Amino acid sequence: MPVRTAWCRYCGQESPFISRTLGFCASCIRQHFDEVWPEIDRLHQASRQAFRLPVRPPRDPTGKLCTLCFQACRIPEGEVGYCGARRVEAGQLRGGGPAGARLSFYHDPLPTNCVADWFCPGGTGRGYPHYAHRPGPEHGYLNLAVFYHACNFNCLYCQNWHFKKCTFTSPAVSARQLAAAVQANTACLCYFGGDPTPQLPNALATARLIRHQPLASGRPVRICWETNGAMQARWLKPLVASCLDNGGIIKIDLKAFSEEIHLALCGVSTSQTLKNFAALAARARERPEVPLLMASTLMVPGYVDLAEIHGLARFIATLNPDIPYSLLAFYPQFYLNDLPVTSRDFALQAQQVALAAGVRNVHLGNIHLLH
């Protein structure tokens, strides 16, 4: 079967690692960003218009200021923020609070396919007996998986892009309803999506309620977060407080190291994510038994290349070389569905690059996808 290739519309290079949809190779995005960005930006705008999402964060000078994430939207009456979850009605910011957030949830048997399952209490028993119910994998226990139907990024390769179809239509779930879903054998709760950031008040309120619902064993339910980490800095303290004493883990998805690649793939800057990751890394040693913080990166062929992996790994190692780092295999999705699956050879090279950059714990995830 012939290998699919595409041409970079700037330099003319032909490669199987160039997306026809995106249109440019990683080198041209990094080196000639100002020239290629207008076309990439139009793609991001179209991808948002398809789901009736604002193409830009609203900046109405008379609008209500949302203080949840780095976008700092100023939302006018009757409109929504960039994420689609926050809106202004009768002069008040609404959506994503304790009274109701757009989400779905389900119970997952442990151990599950969590990005941290290679070291977390649920997957390994790490931290037993204080944070884990068993000295090994917690068979017989459940994870309450909470999927938020909104995001403050616009990733063209989103692996869960279907949430965009229900950002405005899914039923609102209150913090009390969500906390009531905890069962006697629920060992952990994981917030993901989309992203929990646009609806942080709901997630934090649920976490507070669950703290008063220990299991029969007396151990608390672990609270974990999978997020792009681009909330405003004021939310980092309650984020840590929600999971520090129960063995939960904050899992930050570091999409790319260079600003240009991050903008091309995700439509937004990486600066807030990197700042917040550094701030959280400063607290990582407060709980040595179970890592408080980890990083993950999806290895998007041709774009999240070895240069991006090296940059991210050096960034992590400079902060704390013991922070776990998971490199995840990519599967073609959404607007980048014309790229190949991550190759086994590339994944092994990326792992070695990250180790050589100084990160001590580098794991390959989604290995069933590697070819």
Instruction: Give pLDDT, residue 368.
Output: 85
- pTM value? 0.96
Contacts of residue 159, defined as CB under 8 A and 6 or more positions apart, other chains included, come to: 298, 331, 333, 334
Alpha-carbon distance 8 to 28, whole Å? Answer: 8
Distance CA 320, CA 66 (A): 32
Given CATH 1.10.645.10, say whether it is the number of domain 101-369: no
pLDDT at 1: 45
Main-chain phi, psi angles of 231, to 5 degrees:
-75, 165
Q: Domain coordinates of the chain in residue numbers? A: 101-369
Give pLDDT tens digits along the chain (371 positions).
456 899 999 999 999 999 999 999 999 999 999 999 999 999 999 999 999 999 999 999 999 999 999 999 999 999 999 999 999 999 999 999 999 999 999 999 999 989 999 999 999 999 999 999 999 999 999 999 999 999 999 999 999 999 999 999 999 999 999 999 999 999 999 999 999 999 999 999 999 999 876 665 677 899 999 999 999 999 999 999 999 999 999 999 999 999 999 999 999 999 999 999 999 999 999 999 999 999 999 999 999 999 999 999 999 999 999 999 999 999 999 999 999 999 999 999 999 999 999 999 999 998 888 87
Contact 291, 322 (CB under 8 A): yes
The predicted pLDDT at position 191 comes to 98
Q: Which amino acid is at 103?
A: L
pLDDT at position 291: 98
Name the amino acid, one letter, at 289: E
Non-local CB neighbours of 363 within 8 Å, separated by 6+ positions = 118, 119, 324, 325, 326, 327
CA torsion through residues 53, 57, 61, 66, sign: positive
Token representation of residue 100: 């109701």
Radius of gyration of the chain, Cα coordinates, nearest whole angstrom: 20
| Other residues' Cβ atoms within 10 Å of the Cβ of residue 149 | 25
CB 48 within 8 A of CB 54: yes
What are the two backbone dihedrals, phi and then psi, of residue 121, each rounded to the nearest 5 degrees?
Answer: -55, -40
Distance (Å, rounded) from C-alpha 229 to C-alpha 297?
A: 13
Cα–Cα distance, 310 to 43 (Å, whole number): 28
Tokens representing residue 6 in the block:
């595409």
169 vs 84: CA distance, rounded Å: 11
